[in-house]
Amino acid sequence: MKALICYFSGTGNTKKVATCFGEALKNLKVDVVLHNIDDGCNVDFSDVDMLGVAYPIHAFNAPSIVIDFAKKLKKQERETRLFIIKTSGEPLALNNISSCKLKSILKKRNFVLTNEYHYVMPYNMIFRHSDSMAYRMWKVASQIIPLDCKDMVDGKSVKLRYFPFSRVLAGMFRIEHWGGRFNGKKYKVNENCVHCQMCVKRCPTHNITFENGEFHFGKNCLMCVRCSFNCPKNAIKIGWFDKWKVNGAYNFNNPDGTEQKTHKNYCKHSYNKYFAKNEKRIEAFKDKIDAIS
C-alpha cells in the first residue's frame, strides 16, 4: 500500500502532525511519500492508493494555497482513497466545516474521502498558548495518530460530524482568501529588524521582497503568519491583526510551562472535552499504541 501525504504548514504544527502520521503509517508497512505544498503541484500519483491532505485551519476554512493545489490535481482514472488531516488552535466542532470545499474539489477528481482527522495544536495567531498546553496537545496528538493510522489501514472509515449548511457557513468565514490581499499589503517591519531576510526566503508565495534597503509586502499574502511567527526580532507587524500576533516557536517538551493568565478560560470546556476524550482513548489502547509505535 502506498500513501502520498501533501501538506501545507504555515508555522510548523501541521508539518509536525503530517510527519508523525507518515511515520505511523510506515510502522504499519505503508509506503509513504510526504509532499510539501510549498514546492508546487508536481506530484507523482503512480501506484498511490491513498492521498492524504494536511492543512492548518484558517478562519474555519482550508488555506487558499491548499484549495489551489487541489484544483490543479488531475482527475484520477480510478477512485482513490482520500484522508484529510487538519490542525487548529481550538477543538470547536465548527472547525470541522473547513474541509467542505476541499472535499468537493477532490471528489470531482476521483478522490473519495474515507477518513478525516482533526488535531488540536497551539495557536499561531490570536493568542499564545502556554508551553505546558503545547506539550499536552502534542502528547495527545502524537499518541492518537498511531491509533488513527491503524484504523485507517484496517479499512475503518472515520468522518467528522458537520453542521447543517456547512458549505454556506464556511463560505461566510472565508475571510483569509480575500483578507490576505488587503491585509498583506499592510504588513510593516519595525526598527528591530536586522535585515536577516528570513521572511523573504521563507514566504510560501514569495510575497515579501527586499529592495534598496526596504521590505515590500505584496497582495499574495496567505495570512499563514510564517514571517511574523518566525521573525527572530519580532519585527513584523501584521496589519489589522497585529494584536493577535504570536511570535516564536513553542517548546513542546516543557510540561511545566506556566499557564497563560489572560486566556485561562478561553474555550475551556471544549479543550477539556478534547483532552478527556483522547486521553481516555490513549489509556484504553495503551498496549496497542506500544505495539504499533
Ligand X SMILES: Cc1cc2nc3c(=O)[nH]c(=O)nc-3n(C[C@H](O)[C@H](O)[C@H](O)COP(=O)(O)O)c2cc1C
When the beta carbons of 13 and 278 are compared against ligand X, the nearer one is: 13
Q: What is the CA radius of gyration of the chain?
A: 19
Residue 56, interface with ligand X (CB under 6 A)? Answer: yes
Choose one: 68-76, 82-90, 145-153, 154-162; the region binding ligand X (CB under 6 A). Answer: 82-90
CB of residue 201 to ligand X, shortest distance in Å: 17
Nearer Cβ to ligand X (56/239): 56
- 108, 140 contact by CB (below 8 A): no
Alpha-carbon distance values, 178 to 85, 160, 198 (Å): 24, 27, 25
- Interface residue with ligand X among 20, 24, 53, 89 (CB under 6 A) is 89
Q: Which is nearer to ligand X, 81 or 278 (CB)?
A: 278
Name the grid cell of 263.
486566556
Question: Nearest CA to 223 among 94, 49, 65?
Answer: 65
- Taking the least distance from each CB to ligand X, the nearer of 124 and 278 is 124
**Which grid coordinates are listed for 132?**
505546558
Return the number of the residue (4 or 223) whose C-beta is nearest ligand X.
223
Tell the smallest beta-carbon distance from residue 120 to ligand X (Å): 8
**Cα–Cα distance between 120 and 115 in angstroms, integer?**
17
Of 53-61, 69-77, 162-170, 249-257, which part binds ligand X (CB under 6 A)? 53-61
Half-sphere exposure of 252 (CA within 13 A, CB side): 14
Scan residues 1-30 and list those touching ligand X (CB under 6 A).
9-14
Tell me whether residue 153 or residue 225 sits nearer to ligand X (CB atom): 225
Positions in 170-209 near ligand X (CB under 6 A): 176
Candidates 28, 34, 43, 59: give the one binding ligand X (CB under 6 A): 59
The residues in 220-239 that bind ligand X, with binding defined as CB under 6 A, are 223-225
Question: Taking the complex as a whole, how short is the minimal distance between the CB of residue 2 and ligand X, in angstroms?
Answer: 24
Q: Name the segment binding ligand X (CB under 6 A); options: 25-33, 83-91, 202-210, 252-260.
A: 83-91
Per-residue contact flags (x/-) with ligand X for residues 98 to 137, judged by CB under 6 A: -----------------------x-xxx------------
Shortest spacing between CB 62 and ligand X, in angstroms: 10
Minimum Å distance from CB 10 to ligand X?
A: 3
136 to 16, 263, 270: CA distances (angstroms): 15, 17, 15
Q: Which residues bind ligand X (CB under 6 A)?
A: 9-14, 56-60, 87-90, 95, 121, 123-125, 176, 223-225
